[in-house]
Amino acid sequence: MTLTTIRRGLAAAAILACAPLAAAAQDFTPENPECIAPANPGGGWDFTCRQVGKSLQDLDLIPSTMQVVNLSGGGGGVAFAEVVNKRADDNDLIVAASSATATRLAQNAYPGNTMDQVRWLGAIGADYGVIAVAADSEIDTLPELMDQIKADPSSTSIGGGSAVGGWDHLKVLIAAQESGIEDVRQVKYIAFAGGGEAVTQLLAGSLQAFTGDLSEAQGFVESGDIKVVAVLAPERLGGDYSEFPTAREQGIDAIGANWRGFYAPGDMSDAAYDYWVDRIGTLYDSDEWKTVMENNGLAPLDLQGEEFQSFVADSVQSIQDISREIGILQ
């Protein structure tokens, strides 16, 4: 299986549209709903918890305010271990997850932990990757950035919110490979605890570029602090994002879609599991959530319950394959 085949398979999977589950969840109600964002404030996991929590409350889908707890470390590993080892039967708890979570699980980066130790609830959309630079950077296009790396790899540091070998790292490596960089391991990637922290270092001059997701970059684009040199989408997005060029239109056929969703503790009761699957599916179907997706550049990904569980399992396997192909996983 080639890198191109795997990459296109991931991109296609990230825009699936399947009917949501209609679980009966009338015999459970959370007393203190809580969402763990496995990174510092400002990144994609934080956005997932806070926006979904607010929307669930606004639509009266949960009985009280969703408490959001930021628990960073280990590319999500600290939060995963906390859930598995200490809160395995907590029915009120959900945890933000993404392609970055699947990547770390695929690469055995959560020591002693596997995806089947938790229950996968559902997706709320897919977030296309971006590569950006500071607003005052002399670089205006993705080919210019890649040419700079080709000329002197050590001069260009690219930061992201995932660990080395994580999804943010993989996205820029895919772009580098498609631009003609033969040994992508020369690309200088620096890992941060979240996308917001990486952008902060970009603005401080410690980095020359940022690799992350559109939701992470949006606020910094609106404030005029950064400029997006490429969106890793098959074609230009609509609305406010239509001005951002794709990598593909610049001659670099790189696509990276980061799904966003949730997992729950592995020993959560079936009644609680059905409740959260139902709530996430109901939220996804709402007009209010469609507006949130449009405003934040999220693409459709409508998967809940067992369908989402299977999707994550396939993602983990695909990422293992791609990691071996580019030398990150032996």
| pLDDT tens digits along 145-187 | 999 999 999 999 999 998 888 889 999 998 998 999 988 888 9
Report the C-alpha gap between 177 and 35 in whole angstroms. Answer: 37
Domain boundary among 220, 250, 280: 250
Q: What is the pLDDT of residue 19?
A: 37
* C-alpha to C-alpha distances, 92 to 63, 122, 243, 296, nearest whole angstrom: 11, 16, 41, 27
Ramachandran angles phi, psi of 216, nearest 5°: -70, -35
CATH code for position 142:
3.40.190.10
Report the C-alpha gap between 219 and 217 in whole angstroms. Answer: 6
pLDDT in tens, 181-221: 988 888 999 999 888 899 999 999 999 999 998 878 888 99
Total number of domains constituting the chain: 2
- Do 264 and 192 fall into the same domain? no
Confidence of residue 26 (pLDDT cuts 50, 70, 90): low
- Do 223 and 286 fall into the same domain? no
- Do 61 and 45 fall into the same domain? yes
- Do 113 and 9 fall into the same domain? yes
Q: Are 69 and 128 in contact (CB under 8 A)?
A: no
pLDDT in tens, 273-300: 999 999 999 999 999 999 999 888 888 8
Closest CA to 202 of 211, 26, 193: 211
- Do 298 and 149 fall into the same domain? no
Q: Tell me the residue range of the domain where 197 lies.
A: 134-250
- Do 237 and 291 fall into the same domain? no
* In the predicted structure, residue 87 carries a pLDDT above the cut 90: yes
* In the predicted structure, residue 6 carries a pLDDT above the cut 60: no
- Do 112 and 199 fall into the same domain? no
Does residue 330 fall inside a structural domain? no
Residue 248, C-beta contacts closer than 8 angstroms, at least 6 positions apart: 234, 235, 254, 255
- Do 217 and 286 fall into the same domain? no
- Do 274 and 228 fall into the same domain? no
- Do 11 and 122 fall into the same domain? yes
Domain boundary among 226, 250, 274: 250
- Do 245 and 175 fall into the same domain? yes
- Do 72 and 55 fall into the same domain? yes
Q: What is the DSSP letter of 228?
A: E
Which of 12-21, 153-162, 239-248, 304-313 has the least mean pLDDT? 12-21
Domain boundary among 250, 272, 293: 250
CATH code for position 282:
3.40.190.150
Q: What is the pLDDT of residue 325?
A: 75
